[in-house]
Amino acid sequence: MFWFTGMHNPKLQLLVHGENIASSSVSLTYPGVKLLKVNKVENPNYLFLDLTIAPAAKAGKFPINFAVNGKKIFTYTYELKNRDKSAGRIQGVTNKDFIYLLMPDRFSNGDKSNDVVQGLAETALNRDSMYYRHGGDIQGVINHLDYLKDLGITTIWMTPEIENDMPHASYHGYAVTNHYKIDPRYGTNALYKKYVELAHAKGLKVIKDIVHNHIGTQHWFYKDLPMKSWLNQWPKYTQTSYRDQTVMDIHASAADRKQMLDGWFVPSMPDLNQRNPYVQNYLTQNHIWWIEYAGIDGLRLDTYGYNDPVYMADWALKVQAEFPHLSVFGETLVTAVANQAFFTGGNTVNRGFDTHLQGITDATLKDAIYEGINGKNGWVDGINRLYATLAHDFLYKNPNTNCIFLDNHDMSRFYSMVDEDFDKYKMGMSILLTMRGIPQMYYGTEILMKNFSNPDGLIRSDFPGGWEGDKKDKFVADGRTNKENEAFNFVKTLANFRKNSAALQTGKLMQFVPQDDIYVYFRYNAEPKGTVMVVVNNTEKEKTLNTDRFAERTTGITSAKNVITGENIEFKNIKVPAKTTLVLELN
């Protein structure tokens, strides 16, 4: 373990774990470093050391001495390292980016030597089972960085890479057993840092997925709790209600709110007590450590609504003080725009504080896109749902920082949700890549991977070609079917257009009330050149769109280019085929 010089916050709290370590006295001597306090807790196997590190402190190693009755029994050599101020680190992820979400165990096996690691609780490797480990790893992702760049991806988000040494089905990464260690089946800390550096060298950014709310039951500090209040304890096992409304409901029962926030997610994931200041320090410092160590660009916060709100606001301030350019968004799988907006920064009504959370995972927009594609048009249904959902953007301080998506590792895949209708697939992808916010695509969507989320393992299938001996390699065109190549090229065309479209990257959104079952929106900047017009026809009939209605965005426009086909069309009465989203760059 080590820390860094020149941090904004001079305070550092070290957790020391060892048999009866609390019987020791502690001392250290190093210029610029002071040991302010030695904290003893309920469990004598723990000490928490409060240090301050002066701005002038230099990088270097120094001993921390432990003694009993004046006799030294142990010395730990601790290190301070200089902060890495290299260009291109910690860039932030914005609405200029396109995120690719993948599960490292299921994407590609780049190093077979780490498939099975002796000494871990799970040593089975079985690709025929949806719940066992399959062998994918960080090297596998490194091997396919060029594939992602060619596709038009700008940012990679992996589900958690840190150690999940659980007996079974922890391949997803959300049951951490060591916060400071990459799971050895994925690689090493050094390899993870190298992965970030290689991604940056190719113009790709990296998001790290972190979990504040819970740990795995095999975590070393669960097996030997520092104190009872380290976890949210109940007289008997109590599961969260999953009712996010209780956090914001001004009429809510205190007991209901407590069950939502303090109840355990599942029996194998103990719920951390984030009101405990020692837990707070441990989590916050760990996240700061990873950001500085690896130079990542953004964080995705798992199960955001289940965390203690006051702590999360303090966490955001501390992390952003160290890394002003870092981007952060929280997982909020809820059912209404107001619920999502409640968690975001700037919404202090009925809270008394600001969460300082930049954005959320926009599940309500996802639902509205599905309704717009699959639903039957009505006053509030079908395509009108999409319009109405976006009309609530006034609730957000900045809706452009929301992460928008069609599916992820916890829900049925997009292609299955549109009944494997390729026209609807193209409609949805067109909306995703032209809408406000930061678009995220789940791995394999570009090659029409499918399946429903019951059971979850089916939506987490291996990417074909990621393993030596796979019958088909869908990382290359020759391994894909004609339709898969058509899907891949469709996404690639839109994604790479988006890379060079100022309107889609930084432009405002203007939408028009749907008429005649046609929904139209524009992405635009002050300079009219490059304005993008999106026309959605979710019906079974071809429609003709008269453009006179859109004069406030189209004055002087005489033609437009179809971004997908490259065809130039006259900008007057535009024919919109059935089940089509037209993406037009105005000339």
- Write a three-state SS string for 187-204: CCHHHHHHHHHHHHHCCC
493, 181, 215, 208: which is closest to 323 by C-alpha? 208
Q: Which among 292, 297, 331, 407 is annotated as catalytic? A: 331
538, 570, 544, 568: which is closest to 430 by C-alpha? 538
Taking the CA of residue 265 as centre, how many other CA atoms within 13 Å lie in the half-sphere pointing to its CB? 20
Bridge partners of residue 537, in order along the sequence: 518, 580
**Residue 331 bears catalytic tag:** yes
Q: Which among 111, 163, 244, 302 is annotated as catalytic? A: 302
Token pair recorded at residue 553:
């965005």
DSSP one-letter code for 217: T
Strands (E), 120-204: 155-158, 162-163, 178-182
Decide: helix, strand or coil at residue 392: helix
Alpha-carbon distance of 67 to 69, in angstroms, equals 7
Q: How many CB atoms lie within 10 A of CB 559?
A: 13
Across 125-158, b (16+ Cβ under 10 Å) vs e yields eebeebebbbbbbbbbbbbbbebbeebbbbbbbb
Residue 570, H or E segment: strand 568-570
Alpha-carbon distance of 122 to 105, in angstroms, equals 14
Q: Which amino acid is at 238?
A: T
Q: 504 with 434: CB under 8 angstroms?
A: yes
Task: Provide φ and ψ at 586, rounded to 5°.
Answer: -80, 140
Alpha-carbon distance of 244 to 107, in angstroms, equals 32
Burial class (CB in 10 A: 0-12, 13-18, 19+), 558: exposed
Decide: helix, strand or coil at residue 278: helix
206, 310, 188: which is closest to 261 by C-alpha? 310
Active-site amino acid positions: 302, 331
